[in-house]
Structure 1
Amino acid sequence: MTTADTLMPLQAEPPSNKQRLFVRYYSAILIDLVVLNLFDEFSDKVHIESFTVSLMAALLLQILLKLTIALEHYVAAFFKARPGGFMTFMRWFSAWLILFGSKFVILEAISFAFGTDVRFDGRWHGLLVLITVIVVMLIAEEVVVRIYRRLT
């Protein structure tokens, strides 16, 4: 038996759901951190005071985005459970309203939490830039998930 064999467990245990959830959110926050700092470095529309501030902003963004998606799913399930064309319209309209309107809440939460340490400049007080950053974050997260799933 080699030294490596004595150091390794006989049987690896699959991760628990809590461990999977931790890795998922940990990875998402790190991806958001990278995206935020790349925008800070290469765009004159995103200004972040320090790495620590960008880490806290990435954490706040991840929490707010997950809350937004949970709210959108809850409202969509409410309308989906009811029959009729108007309910279908309301499901799609409410999804759009929640997903678009949440960006105003997110922008205000960032402004409240970080003041001038985190700024998005541009049209509509930086709203379009924030939407762009969030879309890039979501795309980056999806790319990483797809790469991970193909590694089996």
Structure 2
Amino acid sequence: MLTRSLLLAATPLMLAFGAAAQAAPKCQFLQPIGGNGVTPIVAKSVSRGKLIGRPNWNTDFIVDQPYTSFKFFFTANSGDPGAQYPVSGFMKFSDGSNLQVINETMNPPIGTGRMFGPFPAIPGKQASQMNFKVGNSNDPGALGFSYRISVQGCTGI
């Protein structure tokens, strides 16, 4: 009888612990720097290099609070079967340093999405921005390739 009473008394604690241990991280989209504030999803196209200036293949997303991890999302809106696109992602920190977390070459089919991460926050570093870059392909047919990118910051386990 005593064992049954202890088990019944401990059940709420076990349920609470189990629920906490299985709680999914809470993620929210980060806003792109220079965005319109309406959507955290950025749409871009690969363009030919410019004679004066540089094409803007980089997109920075502002980190406005501490997060435990980050996820980068990429979706192809158009495609070229033979084109390869360099994709890179960086965590940027308030001390001016950065850490590359993505360095891949992709040939994504139209409408195909990909999540990179989650990448854990770096202990002792304050993230200030997440940088996503989809570079130009060496294939001239790749010009005009369009894509969507976004980044999420997550808290919790």
Give the TM-score band, short-chain normalised: under 0.3
TM-score with structure 2 setting the length = 0.23
TM-score with structure 1 setting the length = 0.23
